[in-house]
Structure 1
Amino acid sequence: MQLREALKTGLRTLVESGVPSPELAAELLLMHILGRHRGYLYAYPEAEISEEITRRYFQAVEERATGKPTQYITGHQEFWGLDLEVTPDVLIPRPETEHVVEAVIDLARRQGFERDAPLRIVDVGTGSGCIALALAAEFPRAVLFATDISRPALEVASRNAERLGMAERVKFLETDLLAFFLDARAPGQDFNQGPNENFLGAFDFVVSNPPYVAADELDCVQREVRQFEPRIAWGGLERGDEV
């Protein structure tokens, strides 16, 4: 089968299934299966693809047609120029979450911090680690702590840090929000000396992208999020703003 024909067939399936941005999804899935960039799809539309590649592509298309997000099929999502691993254990990083990173950079600049400042930052509810790793990339001398209540999510985040060469500067902690720091001394102090109510003073910035969807709004959430992304990461609390 020609590449162009496979792409056309995949697109038709996604359109009929009501998948958002079907053209983009069809292309991303084929790029993933082929291991090629988008330019290849446009440069060689008449290229013949093997039966095995065709089978795997249509299988991926069928998965996407069920509502499963493209990122969970490919296992990747770009965030702040970083290629991150994503699995159903973590919320898929959104472009709008980059505004959190931008806000920290802007605030640091206005407070007089240089890019090489030895900042101490904590990211609460880190998920894939996207915010913490983006900040680690922007502030090469910063030390970051990233917390999450989900061990599987922390495993994904840790793999991302390792692959990006940031494992030494980003410390992942399995804890509920900031409970670890409330139960012990803040970073840079003796953790064995009991609670430290002023632990926030040990950090230059505390950042988070917490769950925000209220329980009575769940039916309004996009199918891809509601059925496939971990609810603990995006909502289900009574009001949605408890965290």
Structure 2
Amino acid sequence: MLLTVEAALKAATEQFIESGSDSPSLDANVLLCHVLDKPRSYLLTWPDKTLQSEQQNQFDALIERRKSGEPVAYIIGEREFWSLPLKVSPSTLIPRPDTERLVELALDKAQLIDGDILDLGTGTGAIALALASELPQRNVFGIDLREEAWQLATENAERLGIANVSFWNGSWFTPVPVGTKFALVVSNPPYIEENDPHLSVGDVRFEPKSALVASDNGLADIKTISDNARDYLLNDGWLLFEHGYDQGSAVREILQGFGYSNVETQKDYAGNDRVTLGQYRIKANIE
């Protein structure tokens, strides 16, 4: 029997509750909108509309994928970040709302210093594209080690028509031309410990471990970037990291150890330590 929009949503929501989804109603709504190729408002306006056989079969198939734990963003191939619809794939992390806090703080610091901006480990290009969309007069660059991520970020820029952003493929600063300096270097690097139990639950199970896990208690890449960024920052430039909720103190110590000043940690929307930043003053320029 073919279901109405309302009945299909109810049945899917009940299945997602049983499977342990954190957002069962939202999952059902997003997946059905994807199948129908309609906005959320359509579901409210036409609850008695009956699904076609092909639509119901497709919806049922997506429900099974979600029940197995596959992230909704990977199922529909898209996730919104900073009001930008971004294509996503299993080769990249799924952009998360907490990362928008990093964008907000980077925009604040961008008002203090002119110059280009670099996003390390760019993934879908979410951070770089958000900054470029807000700062059209700036040049923004993103780097990712995985070629699939670099290609996806480039595709997102083209789809969104954001022309002041470019993406490079390589390890951290390796692709940056010699002598290039940036006003801001931002990064959401791998920062999860290799044996962290969170790696085996939720959406994280499906995301690339290379973009999640770092050695040295999750701090290895943060240390590497903090060290090398000093060669690529303009005088009084800023380095900003997203990191784990319990890593604020450790990241502050790392930045201070490498000579950064004005080091501070800011909280995310849930009140957890999430972004640590510091300013690098080139001593040779001020002596």
Please classify the TM superposition score into its range, dividing by the shorter chain length: 0.7 to 0.9
User: Where does residue 49 of structure 2 map in the other structure?
Assistant: 47
> How much does 1:94 deviate?
0.4
Matched, 1:242 2:220: yes
Give distance in 2, aligned partners of 1:100 and 1:46.
42
Show CA shifts across 1:129-150 (max 9, x none).
0000001001001111211100
Q: Which runs of 4+ in 1 moved over 3 A?
A: none
User: Where does residue 193 of structure 2 map in the other structure?
Assistant: 214
User: Where does residue 3 of structure 1 map in the other structure?
Assistant: 5
User: Where does residue 191 of structure 1 map in the other structure?
Assistant: none
Structure 2 CA distance for partners of 1:17 and 1:236, relative to 1, 3 Å = farther
Matched, 1:233 2:211: yes
Kindly report which structure 2 residues correspond to 1:169-184, keeping only aligned pairs within 5 A, or say none: 169-181=164-176, 184=177
Kindly report which structure 2 residues correspond to 1:193-208, keeping only aligned pairs within 5 A, or say none: 202-208=181-187
Give distance in 1, aligned partners of 2:75 and 2:116.
35
User: Where does residue 122 of structure 2 map in the other structure?
Assistant: 126
User: Where does residue 30 of structure 1 map in the other structure?
Assistant: 32
Show CA shifts across 1:146-171 (max 9, x none).
111000011110100111112x4222
Structure 2 CA distance for partners of 1:43 and 1:63, relative to 1, 3 Å = same
User: Where does residue 108 of structure 1 map in the other structure?
Assistant: 110
- If asked which structure has higher relative contact order (CA below 8 Å, sep 6+), I would say 1
Give distance in 2, aligned partners of 1:186 and 1:81.
34
TM norm structure 1: 0.86
Q: Partner of 1:77: helix, strand, or coil?
A: strand
Give distance in 1, aligned partners of 2:202 and 2:93.
11
Matched, 1:135 2:131: yes
Give distance in 1, aligned partners of 2:20 and 2:74.
18
Give distance in 2, aligned partners of 1:59 and 1:85.
21
> How much does 1:236 deviate?
4.8
User: Where does residue 185 of structure 1 map in the other structure?
Assistant: 178
Identity of aligned residues (%): 38
Give distance in 1, aligned partners of 2:38 and 2:198.
36
Q: Which moved more, 1:40-49 or 1:70-79?
A: 40-49
Contact 2:128 2:142 in 1 (8 A): yes
Contact 2:214 2:220 in 1 (8 A): no
**Matched AA of 2:108:** D
Give distance in 1, aligned partners of 2:195 and 2:205.
16
2:94 to 71, 92, 95: 92
> How much does 1:9 deviate?
1.4
Identify unmatched segments of 5+ residues in structure 2: 222-287
Q: Partner of 1:15: helix, strand, or coil?
A: helix
Give distance in 2, aligned partners of 1:17 and 1:225.
13
TM norm structure 2: 0.73
Identify unmatched segments of 5+ residues in structure 1: 188-201
Q: Partner of 1:53: helix, strand, or coil?
A: helix
Contact 2:140 2:165 in 1 (8 A): yes
**Matched AA of 1:135:** L
Give distance in 1, aligned partners of 2:204 and 2:124.
18
> How much does 1:238 deviate?
4.2
Contact 2:199 2:205 in 1 (8 A): no
Cα RMSD for the two superposed structures: 1.5
Contact 2:118 2:141 in 1 (8 A): yes
Contact 1:216 1:238 in 2 (8 A): no
> How much does 1:222 deviate?
5.9
Between Structure 1 and Structure 2, the one with more strand by share is 2
Q: Partner of 1:32: helix, strand, or coil?
A: helix
1:160 to 138, 141, 156: 156
> How much does 1:180 deviate?
2.5
